[in-house]
Amino acid sequence: MTSKHIHEMGVAELAAAIADKQTSSVEAAQALLARAKQHGNLGAYLAFNEDATLAQARAADARVAAGERGPLLGVPVAHKDIFVTRDFPTTAGSKMLAGYQSPFDATVVAKLAGAGAVTLGKLNCDEFAMGGSNENSAFAVAHNPWDTGRVPGGSSGGSAVAVAARLAPAVTGTDTGGSIRQPASFCNVTGIKPTYGRCSRYGMVAFASSLDQAGPMARSAADCATLLTAMAGPDIDRDSTSLDRPAEDYTALLGKPREGASAAQPLKGLRIGLPKEFFGEGCAPDVVAAVRAALAEYEKLGATLVDISLPRTELSIPVYYIIAPAEASSNLSRFDGVKFGHRAAQYDDLVDMYQKTRSEGFGPEVQRRIMIGTYVLSHGYYDAYYLKAQQIRRLIAQDFQQAFAQCDVIAGPVAPTVAWKIGEKGDDPVANYLADIFTLPGSLAGLPGMSVPAGFGAGGLPVGLQLLGNYFKEGELLQAAHAFQQATDWHLKTPEGF
């Protein structure tokens, strides 16, 4: 037995402890399951299947016993309930899918399992990943462990809570408009959304197909790199939007100075672009202060700061809230009560069955987005809304390419504020949408993005630094985040009582 508790260990430590037989996968899984259940009031998990978890852990232990070592072998992780799983129910946080059992595992889930990771359970999220506070979950409110009266962010809220409260060393999340980065920021967790198409979407319950991306969340950039290495890669036989590009080792650049740089200033030569639109009036001063301090740290590491502009940042909100609901309105049509999921108990005819099933099964935010999406795709409105939004989306992507001519990564806040109080924005969808302003541009452009713990703002609440890279620059982003985490300890801070 090690001196540290299981839950105090990150992925690398735990994998090493299992490989060195200081602990076992079964022991680790049992400890984390017990802890997760003990902290059930945080609302992080939606489902467990202890038998399945322990069976996976025993299989991992058998591989260890046979002499195998691996960076994820035997390490317990948990999956956002957007990923379908054979051994656990999958709800996507919706009553519509209560009790739904998938006959197959999502590619991302299968790839992590293949690397020896063990599934602890399924994590709470906003219904169909629609939301930024986890308040849209049909099953449980998730609480931010830094202040349980506050939201953990969303939609991967349960994922962020599980990592922050040490209920899992690492988890999966999905990011459509900021759903990995924003909860990571709110909960002092490290998270990365890779380039669109890098992780297979097969087995992710679709929200907005052209934006949805899977990614890991963990306690460090290094652990994220380990997970992403296992998760990403081509899956062209099952997902046509999966990029046909060999998998990469995202840990390769970690701890290495940039080319021509030294160990003392490992990021020498790194140009960090600061979009002026990310630092204006719309961003809370405490957030700006934390981000500025983090950027000063980057300068110490050798990076230079460059002022840039992403002139269509504000437009990303209407553009996103046209495209994402449009795709969602169509993607969610399959939930009709005919084949699987919820069906109304009483109905008069087919149309009545559809109406009652969908009115009962979907929560208010999902219904709102289905209506918006249906509207913008309707005859006579398509050109003015959907088509126009697609045109602006292309311009936003072009803006990034111009910016990347001046810098290597783009940095700024993840969200304009720290985590807000549960219920605070409940009745105001627009207020919720505006909070996505800094994550949406990168999503619309399909770029990789991270949230890196950068310190604390008002009320001692975490602030995340957003790093955006050009396409396929996940390795460089992780390198830059890792260098920062070698120099600072923000990412190691744990909420009191956890």
Partner 1 sequence: MSKQKQASLLVQGYEVVIGFETHAQLATNSKIFSRAATAFGAEPNTQACAVDLALPGTLPVMNRAAVEHAIRFGLAVGSHVAEQSVFARKNYFYPDLPKGYQISQFEIPVVQGGEVSFYLGDEKKTVRLVRAHLEEDAGKSLHEDFIGQSGIDLNRAGTPLLEIVTEPDIRSSAEAVAYAKELHKIVTWIGICDGNMQEGSFRCDANVSVRKPGEPLGTRREIKNLNSFKFMQQAIDYEVRWQIEQLEDGYEIQQATVLFDPDTGETRAMRTKEDAADYRYFPDPDLPPLVIARSWVDEVKAAMPELPRAMAERLVADYGLPEYDATTLTQSPAMAAYFEVAAKACGQAKMASNWIMGEVSRRLNNEEKDIAQVPVSADTLAALLKRIADGTVSNNAAKQVMDALWSGEGQDVDAVIEAKGLKQMNDSGALEAIIDEVMAANAPMVEQFRAGKDKAFNALVGLVMKASKGKANPQQVNDVLRQKLG
Q: Identify which of residues 85 and 226 has a Cβ nearer to partner 1 in the complex.
A: 85
CA distances 31 to 120, 180, 278, 310, Å, are 11, 26, 42, 46
Q: CB–CB of 131/154 below 8 Å?
A: yes
Applying CB under 8 A, among 203, 412, 441, 475 the residue interacting with partner 1 is: 203
Among the listed residues 137, 156, 179, 316, the single catalytic one is: 179
Region binding partner 1 by CB under 8 A among candidate stretches 70-78, 162-170, 377-385, 478-486:
377-385
Q: Is 122 a catalytic residue?
A: no
223 lies in the binding site for partner 1 (CB under 8 A): no
Q: Are 78 and 11 in contact (CB under 8 A)?
A: no
Residue 494 binds partner 1, judged by CB under 8 A: no
User: Nearest 5 degrees, angle CA 492-CA 494-CA 1?
Assistant: 80
Residue 241 interacting with partner 1 (CB under 8 A): yes
Q: How far is the CB of 191 from partner 1 (least distance, A)?
A: 21
User: What is the 8-class DSSP label of residue 170?
Assistant: E
Please provide residue 122's backbone torsions phi and psi, each rounded to the nearest 5 degrees.
-110, 140
Question: Rounded to an integer, what distance in angstroms lies between the CA atom of residue 240 and that of residue 55?
Answer: 33
| Least distance CB 378 / partner 1 (angstroms) | 6
68, 237, 307, 352: residue in contact with partner 1 (rule CB under 8 A): 237
> What does the alpha-carbon distance between residue 87 and residue 52 come to, in Å, rounded to a whole number?
6
Residue 92 sits in the site that holds partner 1 (CB under 8 A)? yes
Q: What are phi and psi of 224, to 5 degrees?
A: -60, -40
Sole binder of partner 1 in the list 83, 139, 207, 298 (CB under 8 A):
83
Segment holding 307, helix H or strand E: strand 304-308
Q: CB of residue 104 vs partner 1: minimum separation in angstroms?
A: 6
Least CB distance to partner 1 at residue 338 (A)? 5
Binding mask 98-117 for partner 1 (x = CB under 8 A): --x-xxx-x-----------
> 3, 235, 223: which is closest to 108 by C-alpha?
235
Is residue 382 a contact residue for partner 1 (CB under 8 A)?
yes
Q: Is 80 a catalytic residue?
A: yes
Binding of partner 1 by 321 (CB under 8 A)? no
Q: How far is the CB of 391 from partner 1 (least distance, A)?
A: 13
The binding track of 350-369 with respect to partner 1, each residue x by CB under 8 A or -, is x---x---------------
Characterize the bridge pairing of strands 409-413 and 462-469: antiparallel
Task: Please report how close the Cβ of residue 363 comes to partner 1 at its closest, in angstroms.
Answer: 17
Output the CA angle 98-99-100, nearest 5 degrees: 95
Using the rule CB under 8 A, which residue among 209, 265, 486, 494 binds partner 1?
209
Is residue 389 within the footprint of partner 1 (CB under 8 A)?
no
d(CA 8, CA 22): 15
From the list 24, 80, 329, 356, the catalytic residue is 80
Tell me whether strands 76-80 and 118-123 are parallel, antiparallel or unpaired: parallel
Q: CA-to-CA distance for 284 and 154, rounded, in angstroms?
A: 19
204 binding partner 1? (CB under 8 A)? yes
Give the closest residue to 92 by CA, choosing from 161, 167, 155, 49.
155
- The nearest distance, CB 119 to partner 1, in angstroms, is 16
Whether the Cβ atoms of residue 235 and residue 244 lie closer than 8 Å to each other:
no
Q: Which of 336, 399, 436, 476 binds partner 1 (CB under 8 A)?
A: 336
Residue ranges that bind partner 1, judged by CB under 8 A: 83-84, 90, 92, 97, 100, 102-104, 106, 201-206, 208-210, 236-241, 326-327, 329-330, 332-334, 336, 338-340, 350, 354, 374, 377-379, 382, 386
User: Catalytic residue positions?
Assistant: 80, 155, 179
